[in-house]
């Protein structure tokens, strides 16, 4: 009677594993590089201002909120106290973001006037990544926040206990 082996040949298994690893090494970096090169359409010029800044949402929250994307996958969120935020010019906001980013060599929470403001602003600088068609970053919530980009706007999606909070931001360009 012929002996039957119920185990696959180790050489055959090694070839399959080797082929799988070769394909994984070839395809995964290409997909990742492609996502890094094209990005998801983040706009590095200007910044994004929350809808409702200078209105009742700012009054309730106690601040105006701004978001700026930097090259090399960094994102900043700035909180300027309300009602002082009404007086701050767009050019000053852009300069404060730039100054804060130069100070942060890694993820950081910064607070200061940066020689441009009369009241201190709080700025968080974080790294971001991509998840399908969205940008993902830590935002001090229960889990990471995601950003869905539009043509001249974005939606910040913050996780909540019961529902997600979707906050709209409009793009502000600096001439």
Identify which of 78, 52, 42, 68 has the alpha carbon closest to the alpha carbon of residue 168: 52
Quote the strand ranges of 31-164, DSSP E: 47-50, 63-70, 74-81, 108-112, 121-131, 134-137, 145-149, 153-158
DSSP state of 80: E
Instruction: Say what the pLDDT of residue 139 is.
Output: 82
The mean pLDDT value for 132-149 works out to 86
DSSP secondary structure letter of residue 82: T
Domain range summary for the chain, segments of one domain joined by +:
10-39, 47-172
Segment holding 101, helix H or strand E: helix 90-103
Would you place residue 160 in the very low, low, confident or very high pLDDT band (cuts 50, 70, 90)? confident
Whether 116 shows a pLDDT value over 50: the answer reads: yes
Q: pLDDT value at position 84?
A: 96
Question: Band of the pLDDT at 120, cuts 50, 70, 90?
Answer: very high
Structure tokens at 38: 């094209």
Contact predicate 67/47, CB 8 Å? yes
Residue 30, pLDDT score = 40
Q: Which residues pair with 36 in a beta bridge?
A: none
Helices (H) and strands (E) in the chain, counts: 3, 9
Average pLDDT over residues 79-92: 95
Q: Give 4-58 pLDDT, tens digit per residue.
A: 555 556 666 656 555 454 444 444 444 443 344 345 578 888 999 999 899 998 9
Per-residue pLDDT at 164: 87
Tokens describing residue 165 = 């909070």
Mean predicted lDDT score pLDDT of the chain: 82
Counting Cα atoms < 13 Å in the Cβ hemisphere of 119 gives 13
Looking at residue 5, its pLDDT comes to 55
Query: Degrees (nearest 5) of the Cα angle 78, 80, 82?
Result: 145
Q: What is the CA radius of gyration of the chain?
A: 23
């Amino acid at each position: 009677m012929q002996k039957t082996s119920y185990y696959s040949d180790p050489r055959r298994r090694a070839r399959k594993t080797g082929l799988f690893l070769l394909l994984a090494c070839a395809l995964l970096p290409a997909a990742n590089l492609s996502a890094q090169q094209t990005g998801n359409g983040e706009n590095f010029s200007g910044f994004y201002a929350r809808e409702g800044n200078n209105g009742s949402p700012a009054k309730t929250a106690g601040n105006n909120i701004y978001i700026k994307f930097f090259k090399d996958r960094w994102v900043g969120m700035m909180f300027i106290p309300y009602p002082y935020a009404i007086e701050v010019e767009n050019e000053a906001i852009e300069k404060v973001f730039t100054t804060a980013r130069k100070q942060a060599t890694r993820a950081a929470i910064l607070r200061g006037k940066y020689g441009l403001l009369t009241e201190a602003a709080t700025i968080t600088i974080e790294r971001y990544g991509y998840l399908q068609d969205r940008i993902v970053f830590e935002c001090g919530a229960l889990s990471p926040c995601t950003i869905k980009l539009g043509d001249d706007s974005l939606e910040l999606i913050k996780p909540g206990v019961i529902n997600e909070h979707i906050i709209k931001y409009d793009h502000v360009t600096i001439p």
